[in-house]
Structure 1
Amino acid sequence: MTNTSQIQKNWLNNPSSLPCNLSQWGLILVEGPDAASFLQNQVTNSVLGLKRTFPGAMAQGFSAARLIGYCSPKGRLLASAWIGLFPSDEKAEDRFALFISKDIAASTAKRLSMYVLRSKAKVIDLSAEWTVSALYGSDQQISNYKLDNSYISLRMPDVLVNDQSIARLLIASPGNNAFNTDDSKDSFDAWNELEVLSAIPRIVQATQEQFVPQMINFESVAGVDFKKGCYPGQEIVARSQYRGAIKRRLHLAHFNNDGLNISEAMPGAELFHSKDPSQPAGMVVLSALNPGAPEQIDLQVECKLEALLDGEIHLGSTEGPVLKIDPLPYPLIEI
């Protein structure tokens, strides 16, 4: 189990007062009179009725900030993102902001643009022009953070660590180095650790088209709306839900690295079961160095459910480190 008491001792109660620069995150804007209806037909979650968040405010709560997925026609996730509605003023047309992994932002924006057709909507990848940063701490620290009117900010779900709720805020600002940031490795590692411990997945280039949403618990973290209309892959996603076809799930795990480089535990790295070395049993979804225990690497992993019944799960090969499975911070929606 993750050594949360050590984590809290080392960094949980001493967050930076400055946002840390998230070099691995990008930003896509979808704007125009038809932006809402266009996105509604493309993504796994409903975007209709999202509360408008105006300059200087932060999108927070399910009414204003949601997790979405973008699937291939085969129902496999091409991307995931956090989305909010951020018009420039009360009279302006809709402008949706998608906080997304930077390594897939350009390809996702390009693919979305192919389906705009006659819709009055425009898809813009601003990942090279805007800086994405993040802040974590107590609810009061996040709520009191002063936001410039040029920023776009979205509050992600809190993470419970050692019975303490940690708030998280994503901030996008125009221009590189638009404001002072904490560029220390400690701050960056802390944010990544919180993201892993949230057990809310994020698709990166190495994991594109690897998962049907339920394989990484997307429906259990409010990333899928089964009552909305069609979107690419919707029939397969719905069939998986209602016919109970999912035999793989996202889990939290950790291992002692014993000199193993974090690069060997990056997203996309394969897992193997001790009794079946010939084929992968799963894949790393996200990983992070544990800030409170330098010898430990924490993971989100997608894995066959049957592989957890007996034997051991190894990273990389059956000769690799043995993973210890940790409890999820939320209940799974039963399929």
Structure 2
Amino acid sequence: MSLTDLYTAAGARLDAAGHVTDFGDANGELAALETTTVVTPLPQYTLIRFTGEESQSFLNGQLSSDVRIVGETDAQYSSYSTPKGRMQASFLVLRDGEDYLLQIASDLQPAVQKRLSMFILRSNTRASESGWQAFGVAGPGAAERVQAATGGLPTSPMQVWHGENVKVIALEGARYELLVPDEAAHPLWQALLAAGCRPVGPAVWTLTEIRAGSPWVTQATYEEFVPQMANLELIGGVSFKKGCYPGQEIVARTQYLGKLKRRALRFHVEAAAQSGQDVYSPEMNGQASGKVMLAAPAPQGGSEVLVVVQTASLEHGLHLGAVDGPKLAPLPLPYSLEAEPA
């Protein structure tokens, strides 16, 4: 039985690309996040593998984070930018022995992998798409059920536990990502269901990313934001102490020469929303004040969104799609915007 057949047997509905959309009760799955442990396939992400003894030095010269401090049990957020500092991708970086794995939005993987490969030149490293699958586990009891299914667990957020044919990444908000080779995905999925996890669609995981303030760049927001606009430095995704990388001068100038004018903030809106939509405020004279970075259906209806927005517009009110569009209601983030870089 294929993995898709396994999902279908659990009640999955598929989109035109054959990816899971939900398991038959989209609204109930969103609500279940509050009361039970949920598990979802994560087709929205892909892994790029870097192999070769110079992988660390190459990646450290391309990404915004200090890749040199990523140990065998560490996970780290990072980004890749244009020379003007605009993010072309954001990543979750971890190790697989001597190799480096970069989790990236699936719709960006081919172009970004190709672009990074253009700069390898004589470096002893090689980029390839990993054939691994990813599952997300969240909700009450997540830690206990992940441990029951895998036999281990990281001890703190942004740490990785390496088991036999599985890597468990602990994320903020008592969430876990499980990475497995294709051949191990079938038994792991069954073990998670046997441990008591409820299968849900990927939109539920996107909702947890929004609530965690995780700034994932997708095709809809390609080259839209400098890392700090998306709060990346607050979650360890930017180093201000290492050497040069594309966009480093702009990123440093943004950090040290004046107050940031844009930040990623969380809102609820009584409408369907999607990444890349503009957000407006009355004082901007018809110009957009911000852009939706991530969007997911909310359990109570409407959408929760992570929006990169002009902070000066907050007092005037923000509206989705037009100045007279649905109003955005502020929601909290789990970290302070005034915190020192992680």
Query: Contact between 1:152 and 1:173, CA under 8 Å: does it hold in 2?
Result: no
1:318 to 302, 323, 327: 323
1:149 partner letter: E
Q: Is residue 43–residue 232 contact of structure 1 (8 Å, CA) maintained in 2? A: yes
Partner of 1:200: 214
The aligned amino acid for 1:193 is L
Counterpart of 1:133? 135
Amino acid at match of 2:113: A
In structure 1, what residue type is equivalent to 2:314? L
Shift of 1:255: 1.4
SS at match of 2:288: coil
What is the aligned partner in structure 2 of residue 90 from structure 1? none
Question: What code does the residue aligned with 2:307 have?
Answer: V
1-structure distance, mates of 2:181, 2:284? 48
3-state DSSP class of the match of 1:12?
Answer: coil
Deviations 1:26-76 (A, max 9, x none): 110011100111111110111113222xxxxxx4xxxx1100111111111
Say if 1:120 and 1:249 are closer, same or farther in 2 by CA, change over 3 A: same
Equivalence for 2:124: 120
Instruction: Describe the SS at the equivalent of 1:307.
Output: helix
- In the TM superposition, residue 15 of structure 1 has moved relative to its aligned partner by 1.3
Q: Does 1:303 align with 2:309?
A: yes
Within the alignment, does 1:243 sit opposite 2:257 as a pair? Answer: yes
Q: TM-score, normalised by structure 2?
A: 0.79
* Structure 1 consecutive aligned stretches of length 4 or more whose deviation exceeds 6 Å: 6-9, 181-185
User: C-alpha displacement at 1:169, in angstroms?
Assistant: 2.0
The equivalent of 2:102 in structure 1 is 98
1:102-181 paired onto structure 2 within 5 Å: 102-126=106-130, 129-137=131-139, 138-146=142-150, 149-156=164-171, 158-159=172-173, 166-174=174-182, 178-179=186-187, 180=189
Where does the alignment leave 5 or more consecutive residues of structure 2 unmatched?
Answer: 1-27, 152-162
The yes-or-no answer on 1:328 pairing with 2:333 is: yes
Aligned-partner residue type, residue 282 of structure 1: G
Q: What is the Cα deviation at residue 153 of structure 1? A: 3.8
Distance 1:185 1:211 in 2: 33
1:270 and 1:40 mapped to 2: Cα distance?
A: 33
Task: Tell me the amino acid that sits aligned with residue 314 of structure 1.
Answer: H
Deviation at 1:178, TM superposition (A): 4.2
Whether 2:244 is the aligned partner of 1:230: answer: yes
In structure 2, do the counterparts of structure 1 residues 76 and 245 end up closer, same or farther at CA, with 3 Å as the change threshold?
A: farther
Task: Output one character per residue of 1:263-289: Cα deviation in whole Å (capped at 9) or x when no partner.
Answer: xx1111000112335211000010111
- SS of 2:93's equivalent in the other structure is strand
When the two structures are aligned, how many residues end up with a matched partner? 294
Question: Which structure has more RCO (C-alpha within 8 Å, separation ≥ 6)?
Answer: 1
Q: Is contact 1:226-1:238 (8 Å) kept?
A: yes
| Cα distance in structure 2, aligned partners of 1:189 and 1:275 | 33
- Please give the alpha-carbon distance, in whole angstroms, between the structure 2 residues aligned to 1:7 and 1:307: 34
Instruction: Out of 181-190 and 199-208, give the one that drifted further.
Output: 181-190
Contact 1:131/1:178 (8 A) holds in 2: no
CA deviation after TM superposition for structure 1 residue 9, in Å: 7.0
Aligned to 2:113, what secondary structure does the other structure show?
Answer: helix
Report the Cα distance in structure 2 between the residues aligned to 1:316 and 1:71, rounded to whole angstroms: 27
Structure with the higher helix share, 1 or 2: 2
Task: Give the equivalent residue in structure 1 for 2:47.
Answer: 27
Aligned residues: percent identity?
31
Match of 1:50 in 2: 70
2:36 pairs, out of 14, 26, 29, with 14
**Inter-CA distance 12–118: structure 2 relative to 1 (3 Å threshold):** same
The answer on whether the counterparts of 1:277 and 1:317 sit within 8 Å (CA) in structure 2 is: no
Aligned counterpart, 2:160: none
SS at match of 1:48: helix
Letter in 1 for 2:79: G
For residues 150 and 176 of structure 1, the distance between their equivalents in structure 2, rounded to whole angstroms, comes to 6
- For the residues of structure 2 that align with 1:227 and 1:109, how far apart are their CA atoms? 26
